[in-house]
Amino acid sequence: MNEILDPRSVDRPNSYIGKSVPRPNARKLVEGRGQFVDDIVLPRMVHVAFVRSPHAHARILSVDGDEALRVPGVLRMFTGKDLAAHCDPWVAVLAHLKGMKSAPQRPLPLDRATWVGEAVAAVVAESRGVAEDAVAKVAVAYEPLPAVVDMETALAQQTPVIHPDLGDNLCFQRVNESGKVDDAFAAAHKVVEATFHTGRHTGATLEPRSILADYNRASGKLTVHHSTQAPHMMQGVFAKHLRLAEGDVRVICTDVGGSYGIKVHVYPDEVAAAVIARMMGRPVKFIADRLESFSTDIHARDHRIKARMAVDAGGRITAIDVDDLTGIGPYSVYPRTSAVEGNQVVNLVGGPYDFPNYRARTTVVLQNKTPTCQYRAVGHPIATAVTEGLVDLAAEAVGLDPVEFRRRNLMADGTYPRTSPAGMKFEGLSHMASLEKLVGMMDYTGLRAEQERLRAKSIHRGIGFASFIELTNPSPFMYGMGGARISAQDGCTVRIDPDGSVLAATGVTEQGQGTEAIIRQIVAEAVGVPIDQVRVITGDTLTTPYGGGTWACRGAGIGGEAALQSGLAVKEAVLKVAGAMLQVGPGMLDLVNGEIVEKRSGQTRMPLAELARIVYFRGDTLPPDLPRELMQTRHFITKEYPFAFTNGVQASYLEVDIDTGMVTLLKHWCVEDCGRIINPLLVDEQVRGGVVQGIGAALYEECPYSPEGQLLIGSMADYLVPMAAEMPDIEVGHVETPTNESLLGAKGAGEAGTAGAPGAVMNAINDALRPFGAKVFAQPFTPERILVALGKVSA
Amino acid sequence: MSIEVAVTLTVNGERVSRRVEARRHLVDFLRLDLGLMGSHAGCEHGICGACTVRVDGAIVRGCLVLAAALDGAEVETIEGLSDTGEIRDLQEAFVARNAAQCGYCTPGMLLTAADLLETNPRPTREEIREHLAGNYCRCTGYHAIIDAVETVAKARNGRA
């Protein structure tokens, strides 16, 4: 037996885990030679474009495609009824979210449109341009119906019910309570409270949603090129709803131009493209345009949270009480459901802090707006902004510096494992160490002095903090338990080829975050070969082990451990063969840098390529009963904890122009603890990208609606995203608390930045506004909202 | 609908002649007519910069230029700049610094960065941020991109 590789030891031969190795797939991207779905062109390919509802809620009386079908190049038009014959509807509920309800949804609705932008008919043509020309000629007769727009009144008696079969517009409600909340508030030294709004916004992936579905009538096989995070999940979805065998569906996902949670959901128009491909027996491409992205990509984070916190005379938090309300559109989104975000809020509020009494309610309501669902850091930015907003209010109320208040209240390091008042199980966190590291990185004392100095010159700067926890490495507790066919386990196959190179196929997927890079590092180290000898395959249901793909920060922690175990198994198999060939016990040998070596002396005995040559071409020369299994597969799933929580803390330093309300970001810091870091270069850029996504929510991004339910943005000229000129440099630091659930010890890192940034920016703005007694709690913190808070303009 | 215009232009050093629909944008012309898939359509409104290419030496938005207007023009795309090696140092810096994640914005970002270094060989970080402010990147948060461009600017100056 060879020694088990220990990633905790530092000086290991050909060690790659923990090193900043560039991504093997980056060069094709910088040369514009990647392959996104829209880059794929197939023989006899046609294009589908959709007729979309201009009404928030309307009955579809008739669809007349006569004129559209006369446009040269147009082939077919499909209505909801046409597709219904070939596709079964879906209902997005999870059994473990008790009482949750939603209505059946189809690729195109049968008789009713329920949000502005919902596809109601499809036109297929020889080019996208012609399909769009024809869409403009489809005559749909609508009978407008009263729309449910404001989530605050969605459950009111006089509000119409969107789906009468459901009885009301309530999708889900849950109260998470522990301790004696009312007693704690009654006995409090101080109580602080605020109402927070996190603006409805969206992912704005630069590559729009894209699908190319191809059905072969002879083989009965559906091949789908899809810009998705979860190829295996989509394979199951297409099979189930198009009434195909799972084995007859192949989903291929090459390069993905940004996903962030947007591309892990089932979209009716994408299913429609697949159904149409099956009906027409030829390849059908659908690429969303930017207006379709804004009106049909999932939105997220449309929450109103009334929150209060009780503190004692010693500045200790004694209770938190929050009431969360969220509007999710007319349907819960399949198959993850749209109740999870609210459920996360009630699980995560107060997460970093040590306090005894907790009550959180979420109410998830239906409305006639674009459906919302899981988007990067699901629920975390909301819970963190609420918690950290309350923390700064409480610190001010008891006259403590915000850092000192956090020192008194954060869960102490070394007190784990423990369970939070919200019922979350923590294996090991490092809030205190992270905070102290952050304070050191940013020279907190120096910044406070600078702030004071500049205030005298009427320059108003603010410093804001946000501690956070992040849920990663999810178990079936998240979805599988509720009946969703979403894999929490993942697998990796590692194979030695005749030239001694290594092929690794994994069920976790690449979206640009560097999955292929870390799998390559892990496999190279586990097997014992130079890193350039390892190729990685992702994103193909036909050639990779069954897995969950990319979601909830599981690639490194789940997929990485499967790769490690698989690589170690291959190494063991190699050394077994080597021992037989060299007439020594396998335990005397090692595989280092692609060479079989004597473990004790390090002396080279044989190249791996020579061993592979013998195994594959001269197997006759080996003992007949010798196993020579140079390909191994291992799977991994977490078992002890429902989630591997990570933690961290961020700080924002910014300036508010009190005459214009403009916020200028000066610097941002993040210290996070994702356990074992496999590649610091990749982790740091995940954090930075995440922080900027959070800043977008805090300052710019919003999907506003008119009272009638019209979406008021149509292009990127209306929907502002963070651009280079407005963004600050971001300093990133780490504390490493590996999980003991795996040998690798890795937890997720992709969502930490997004989780903490909005709270930190909010607190920094309010710190800058402190001399004026003004505060803002409604994201995005636009100049207008800041001027209203300052009393300079009226709302 | 289909008024067609005959154009002859140079794309990445090769002469091409096509009849194009009057409404066809340059980015669609490159992708659909020439199979050059490195330029990406992102927002279709001239905001995101994913379709940035060079026309007669200046960077333009491929979604705002009509192919029919380019008779006699010289067009360069990410594929051409990769093959000539003109921006090899920028590309290597983007890889080394992990300044490209999903890679969808990267070709446009690189063309814009190359344009900056052409006109301002010693840019400050602020000037780099300002020049790249019309190119949307959702993945990186920009910091790594600014670092990569800064590194190349310094290296080029060191050589000069």
The nearest alpha carbon in chain A to B30 belongs to A39
Residue B129, chain A, CB below 8 Å: the answer is yes
Residues with Cβ within 8 Å of residue A306, at least 6 apart in sequence: A193, A195, A322, A323
For the stretch B146-158, pLDDT in tens is 999 999 999 999 8
Angle at A190 between CA A184 and CA A195, to 5 degrees: 90
> Which chain B positions have a beta carbon within 8 Å of A729's beta carbon?
125, 143, 146
> Which chain A positions have a beta carbon within 8 Å of B111's beta carbon?
none
**Which residues in A389-421 are b (16+ Cβ under 10 Å) and which e?**
bbbbbbbbbbebebbebbbbbbbebeebeeebb
Look up tokens 């003992």; give the residue.
A623
8 Å CB contact between A493 and A545 = yes
| pLDDT confidence bin for B96, thresholds 50/70/90 | very high
How close B132 gets to chain A, by Cα (Å)? 6
How close B105 gets to chain A, by Cα (Å)? 7
Question: What does the alpha-carbon distance between residue A351 and residue A431 come to, in Å, rounded to a whole number?
Answer: 11
Q: Do A206 and B141 touch (CB under 8 A)?
A: no
| pLDDT confidence bin for B2, thresholds 50/70/90 | confident
User: What per-residue confidence (pLDDT) applies to A5?
Assistant: 54
8 Å CB contact between A475 and A455 = no
Question: What does the alpha-carbon distance between residue B144 and residue B151 come to, in Å, rounded to a whole number?
Answer: 10
Burial class from Cβ neighbours inside 10 Å (0-12, 13-18, 19+) for residue A456 reads exposed
Assigned token pair, A765: 């703005």
User: What per-residue confidence (pLDDT) applies to A231?
Assistant: 98
| Parallel/antiparallel/unpaired status of strands A210-216 and A201-202 | unpaired
Report how far apart, in Å, the C-alpha atoms of B57 and of each of A1, A205, A592, B73, B112 are: 63, 29, 51, 10, 12
Detail the DSSP E strand segments found in chain B: 4-11, 14-21, 52-55, 58-61, 74-76
Question: What does the alpha-carbon distance between residue A557 and residue A551 come to, in Å, rounded to a whole number?
Answer: 12
Query: Tell me, what amino acid is at A407?
Result: R
Burial class from Cβ neighbours inside 10 Å (0-12, 13-18, 19+) for residue A146 reads middle
Query: Tell me, what amino acid is at A191?
Result: V
Report how far apart, in Å, the C-alpha atoms of B39 and of each of A38, A226, B51, B61, B72 are: 11, 19, 5, 10, 20
Closest CA to A24 of A15, A36, A34, A37: A34
The nearest alpha carbon in chain A to B96 belongs to A22
Q: Do B79 and A33 touch (CB under 8 A)?
A: yes
Residue B101, chain A, CB below 8 Å: the answer is yes
> Which chain A positions have a beta carbon within 8 Å of B102's beta carbon?
29, 206-207, 255-259, 511-512
Assigned token pair, B121: 């060989």
The nearest alpha carbon in chain B to A290 belongs to B43
Q: Do B40 and A257 touch (CB under 8 A)?
A: yes
Q: Where in chain A is the domain with CATH 3.30.365.10?
A: 26-34+489-636, 299-476+640-789
Report how far apart, in Å, the C-alpha atoms of B15 and of each of A553, B10, B12 are: 48, 4, 8
* pLDDT averages per 10-residue partition of chain A, 795 residues: 47 81 94 98 98 98 98 98 98 97 98 98 98 98 98 98 98 98 98 98 98 98 98 98 98 97 98 98 98 98 98 98 98 98 98 98 98 98 98 98 98 98 98 98 98 98 98 95 97 98 98 96 97 97 97 95 98 98 95 96 97 98 97 97 97 98 98 97 98 98 98 96 98 97 96 98 98 98 98 92
Measured between CB atoms, which of B48, B107, B143 is closest to A729?
B143
Detail the DSSP E strand segments found in A53-136: 58-64, 74-79, 112-113, 119-125
Measured between CB atoms, which of B50, B110, B141 is closest to A730?
B141
**Which residues in A466-494 are b (16+ Cβ under 10 Å) and which e?**
bbbbbbbbbbbebbbebebebbbbbbbbb
> Is A299-476+640-789 in CATH node 3.30.70.330?
no
Question: What does the alpha-carbon distance between residue A379 and residue A533 come to, in Å, rounded to a whole number?
Answer: 41
> Which chain A positions have a beta carbon within 8 Å of B147's beta carbon?
none
Detail the DSSP E strand segments found in A507-547: 534-537
| Parallel/antiparallel/unpaired status of strands A644-656 and B4-11 | unpaired
Residue B124, chain A, CB below 8 Å: the answer is no
Assigned token pair, A265: 């959901």
Q: Do A512 and B101 touch (CB under 8 A)?
A: yes
> Which chain A positions have a beta carbon within 8 Å of B23's beta carbon?
129
Closest CA to A349 of A316, A323, A376: A323
Task: Specify the 3-state DSSP secondary structure of A143.
Answer: strand
> Which chain B positions have a beta carbon within 8 Å of A26's beta carbon?
94-95, 98, 100, 103
Residues with Cβ within 8 Å of residue B24, at least 6 apart in sequence: B32, B33, B66, B67, B68
Closest CA to A756 of A643, A645, A647: A647
User: What per-residue confidence (pLDDT) applies to A795?
Assistant: 81
Residue B112, chain A, CB below 8 Å: the answer is no
Delineate the domains of chain B, giving CATH numbers in brackets.
4-81 (3.10.20.30), 87-159 (1.10.150.120)
**Which residues in A693-732 are b (16+ Cβ under 10 Å) and which e?**
bbbbbbbbbbbebeeebebebebbeebbbbbbebbbbbbb
Residue B62, chain A, CB below 8 Å: the answer is no
Measured between CB atoms, which of A71, A257, A724 is closest to B132?
A724
* Prior bond of A208 cis (ω within 30°): no
How close A412 gets to chain B, by Cα (Å)? 32
Assigned token pair, A388: 């950290």
Q: Do A32 and B135 touch (CB under 8 A)?
A: no
> Which chain B positions have a beta carbon within 8 Å of A257's beta carbon?
40, 102-104
> Which chain A positions have a beta carbon within 8 Å of B132's beta carbon?
724-725
* Superfamily holding A37-145+205-296: Aldehyde oxidase/xanthine dehydrogenase, a/b hammerhead (3.90.1170.50)
* Prior bond of A335 cis (ω within 30°): yes
For the stretch B33-82, pLDDT in tens is 999 999 999 999 999 999 999 999 999 999 999 999 999 999 999 999 99
| Other CB atoms within 10 Å distance of the CB of residue A13 | 12
Residues with Cβ within 8 Å of residue A619, at least 6 apart in sequence: A628
CATH number of A26-34+489-636: 3.30.365.10
| Other CB atoms within 10 Å distance of the CB of residue B101 | 28
> Which chain A positions have a beta carbon within 8 Å of B97's beta carbon?
681
User: What per-residue confidence (pLDDT) applies to A4?
Assistant: 47
Q: Where in chain A is the domain with CATH 3.90.1170.50?
A: 37-145+205-296
The nearest alpha carbon in chain B to A718 belongs to B47
Report how far apart, in Å, the C-alpha atoms of A544 and of each of A491, A569, A583, B20 are: 8, 17, 36, 42
